[in-house]
Structure 1
Amino acid sequence: MAIQIPRGTQDILPGVVEKWQFIENKAKEICNKYQYREIRTPIFENTELFLRGVGDTTDIVQKEMYSFQDRGGRNITLRPEGTASVVRSFAENKMFGNPTQPVKLYYLGPMFRYERPQAGRYRQFVQFGVEALGSMDPAIDAEVISLAMELYKSLGLKKLRLVVNSLGDNESRNAHRAALINHFQPRIGEFCSDCQKRLEKNPLRILDCKKDRDHELMKSAPSILEYLNEDSKQYFEKVKQYLSAMDMDYIVDPTLVRGLDYYNHTAFEIMSEAEGFGAITTLCGGGRYNGLVQEMGGPDTPGIGFALSIERLLSALEAEGINIEAEHSVDCYIIALGEEAKDYSVTLLQKLRTAGFSSERDYLNRKMKAQFKAAERIAAKYAIILGDDELKMGNIAVKNLETGEQTELSLDHFIDEFSKLCR
């Protein structure tokens, strides 16, 4: 029986992986413009990091983490998201002491969640995210949101919806928490077991429940916006002011709570409104998480960030009919005829590659016509034709495969002459 790929994972094959590389390079290019620098953290961390950082009332921690004990008896988890690891690294490496503040970081890599696979959702998925740590200026909230929007728009996406909300500071959240408990308590028995557990621990998470989202109490639940104190109101107004100043359209949705426990103040999501994209429309989500650095053992440091799935981004591009050309550039293909020519082609191939040319040759001992077809198949720009007779005469034929024009070049000065021809 053939061994197959694990459920919820995928092979990204040549021809498709170039599209991923294009998106990844675009994300890095935009981060460079915004002065966000890359950070790379371990793929597995101590389980305690995610229990404390993500929150033990979240679906991620309760149902979706890949956790195990290593040979030393330590509890280890494959990272389910990126923020907790980045914040742990920020605190552990004392980046709060860097002379340049705020510390602006981005990450790109695989994450792991045990959830039901569906279109655009995998158990191993690639996440791109940014984190800005050290500033309580609402302008940086707007900057983080604008960076995410610029990435989507730079790839051609148009059917986007930006939704924002404020979760307020601790005082506002505590007042809202008490109101939610009073609201749901009398009829909590009508809700799922998860919601019943969340009532006392984190009632805000009830609003994010997928099973009970149509329950009548959900529609009449008290809004966080009704419980924002003056400072939280002013902060949210400033964020909205800056978004408007950046010409970014947005919708305020008081039911937006996000799925992680560490959020406060600004929360946002970017959604696709493309027809046929699917029932789950969220492309990107993020928000402010003041207090998380302190939870990880660092000083009280404000932070804000977002994360997005590359797989979901590709699905959105497909839904809008946007095709990223998978570029694979080959400068030349050596067609060698005769034993001496084949032997020399090994040396010539190495010289071409050393000179910076993307080059290939035949390794299947094919005839001339088949070698030409192989060169066309990989979209080579030039065919370098070398036979035993040409080798003795000191000449090499070069054919432009687009125009059909053929030129004779000197064997002794081939690299220099070929470079001039290419220019």
Structure 2
Amino acid sequence: MMIHHSGKDGEESITALAGERSAPAPFFASPSIDRKGEIALYYGFTPIKAPHIEREDISRARALQSAGERLAGAEERRCSIPLALEEKVALIRLAAEIRGGNLQQPLMFYFERSALLPRSARSRRGHECSVSLEIIGTGKSIAEALIIKAAYEILQASGHKNVSVEINSIGDRDSVARFSHDLLSYYRKNISLLHAPCRQNLKRDVFDLFACENEKCRIMREDAPKALSYLSEDGRRHFTEVLEYLEALALPYTINNFLVGDRAITTHTVFEMRVEGAAMPLCFGTRYNALPKRLGVKRDLPSIGATLVFEPQGKRADETKRVRVREPKLYFIQLGFEAKLQSLKIIELLRHAKIPVMQSLSRDQLTVQLAAAEKFKIPYTIIVGQKEAMEKSAIVRNMRTRSQDTVRLTELPEYLRRIM
């Protein structure tokens, strides 16, 4: 899905194509979006209206919370960004309805809504709205890279500087169970050292103790078990790949062992984004791979989402300017992990050059990606394999004539403007 800037008298236009045209029309938002939506489009997210939360979604969310795995409220966690479990339930329901959950391509959604915050949190933080990025249907590490990079660029474009990422992984449900068991045993053995409120929290959710800023609790958590020690081999490999993406993108990050999310929803990766020195984060994200099956979805539907919050401090003109939706003429194809590492940097290069591009970074096979380009009648493809990734170049292929050229990445934007 991608974007194109053009037009007369300063009018901007966007090229966008949702990864699967077979997705039903009601999922698509107005053909004009703002700056935040424009950035999301470049990274493959389809703007939609915020999902309607039905009464059944609320009931199912409450049932999950009462099944021994309580979802903590926003005010009980340092992040102060609610996970809105009922919204995740609604998203899973919608995804499962599309082709019976048999997704050939992951669903990637972007939407805005008034922040789902308690009244006291609204008055304390002054939040006006939230922006959500969701990827449903892939467990690959590229999904984390896409969602973190898109969120980072949206925050940067919104005027936030010195944004950094705090990240952790708690692994799959087996890893979470073993970690939770040992963490609970650790705190029970040292319960006399906890201050009174945390002794009560221990009965509800041991993860809450990591959020406590009491001096006694802060000292205790330093020696507490760490989730990373409980990851399976697949979990360690997945998290290592996520960190490699962040390093390839030169995104500043630190591993926060005390960032664990909520057991009602979180699996594997959990992250926050903060401005240096700020007490509260601007973004919270987590994988929720296990949630679909707990809601009765028969097929695996691994998912990840992030919520960004914005304060009502006046919007700049470039943030509110609306842009129109049109289609791209370029499809980006990558082959191999080294090429994937370079892919988001190439997309960012094209975004700054205002050149539209469509991609499906979750796919690996050349034939599948070429077939997608042909299906959508995209006239040009950019192909990056391991050789091109090492040489910092790309192959540009004319899909009609099958002719192709190898172009250095530094020269790629100018070359594409010339042929398109």
User: Structure 2, unaligned stretches of length 5 or more?
Assistant: 1-32, 78-83, 322-420
- 1:242 is matched with 245
Structure 1 position 89 matched with structure 2 position 94: yes
Letter in 2 for 1:50: A
Corresponding residue pairs, total: 279
* 1:51-86 Cα shifts (integer Å, max 9, x gaps): 24567523329989xxxxxxxxxxxxxx67743332
- 2:17 is matched with none
Residues 166 and 266 of structure 1 are in contact (CA less than 8 Å); yes or no, is this contact kept in structure 2? yes
Query: Which moves more between the two structures, 143-152 or 113-122?
Result: 113-122
Structure 2 counterpart of 1:134, from 134, 137, 140: 137
- 1:295 is matched with 294
- 2:158 is matched with 155
Q: Cα offset for 1:143?
A: 0.9
| Distance of aligned partners of 1:210 and 1:297 in 2 relative to their CA distance in 1, 3 Å threshold | farther
Q: What is the distance in 2 between the residues matched to 1:260 and 1:88?
A: 20
Q: What is the distance in 2 between the residues matched to 1:209 and 1:48?
A: 30
Percent identity over the alignment is: 23
Structure 1 position 166 matched with structure 2 position 169: yes
Residues 181 and 203 of structure 1 are in contact (CA less than 8 Å); yes or no, is this contact kept in structure 2? yes
Letter in 1 for 2:116: F
Q: What is the distance in 1 between the residues matched to 2:266 and 2:257?
A: 14
TM-score using structure 1 length: 0.57
Give the root-mean-square deviation of aligned CA atoms.
Answer: 3.5
- 1:417 is matched with none
Q: What is the distance in 1 between the residues matched to 2:135 and 2:228?
A: 25
Residues 132 and 307 of structure 2 are in contact (CA less than 8 Å); yes or no, is this contact kept in structure 1? yes
Structure 1 position 324 matched with structure 2 position 334: no
Residues 264 and 290 of structure 1 are in contact (CA less than 8 Å); yes or no, is this contact kept in structure 2? yes
- 2:219 is matched with 216
Residues 43 and 110 of structure 1 are in contact (CA less than 8 Å); yes or no, is this contact kept in structure 2? no
Q: Cα offset for 1:263?
A: 0.9
Q: Cα offset for 1:170?
A: 2.0
Q: What is the distance in 2 between the residues matched to 1:34 and 1:246?
A: 14
Structure 1 counterpart of 2:73, from 36, 60, 69: 60
Structure 1 position 114 matched with structure 2 position 121: no
The answer to which structure, 1 or 2, has the higher relative contact order (CA under 8 A, 6+ apart) is 2
Structure 2 counterpart of 1:49, from 60, 66, 73: 60
| Distance of aligned partners of 1:30 and 1:200 in 2 relative to their CA distance in 1, 3 Å threshold | same
Residues 207 and 262 of structure 2 are in contact (CA less than 8 Å); yes or no, is this contact kept in structure 1? no
Please show how residues 9-408 of structure 1 align to structure 2 within 5 Å: 25-37=34-46, 38-42=48-52, 45-46=55-56, 47-52=58-63, 57-60=70-73, 82-92=87-97, 96-99=101-104, 101-114=105-118, 116-117=120-121, 121-122=125-126, 125-188=128-191, 191=194, 195-196=198-199, 199=202, 202-209=205-212, 214-259=217-262, 261-273=264-276, 280-299=279-298, 300-311=300-311, 324-325=316-317
Residues 106 and 138 of structure 2 are in contact (CA less than 8 Å); yes or no, is this contact kept in structure 1? yes
Q: What is the distance in 1 between the residues matched to 2:233 and 2:241?
A: 12
Residues 60 and 80 of structure 1 are in contact (CA less than 8 Å); yes or no, is this contact kept in structure 2? no
| Distance of aligned partners of 1:80 and 1:234 in 2 relative to their CA distance in 1, 3 Å threshold | closer
- 2:344 is matched with none
| Distance of aligned partners of 1:98 and 1:268 in 2 relative to their CA distance in 1, 3 Å threshold | same
Q: Cα offset for 1:92?
A: 4.8
| Distance of aligned partners of 1:44 and 1:63 in 2 relative to their CA distance in 1, 3 Å threshold | farther
Secondary structure (helix, strand or coil) at the match of 1:59 reads: coil
Flag as ranges the 4+ runs of structure 1 deviating above 6 A. Answer: 61-64, 326-329
Q: Cα offset for 1:186?
A: 2.6
Q: Cα offset for 1:40?
A: 2.8
Q: What is the distance in 1 between the residues matched to 2:135 and 2:100?
A: 12
Q: Cα offset for 1:282?
A: 0.6
* 1:115-142 Cα shifts (integer Å, max 9, x gaps): 53466625x8522111101111111111
Q: Cα offset for 1:206?
A: 2.4
Letter in 2 for 1:30: I
Secondary structure (helix, strand or coil) at the match of 1:35 reads: coil
TM-score using structure 2 length: 0.58
Q: Cα offset for 1:234?
A: 1.1
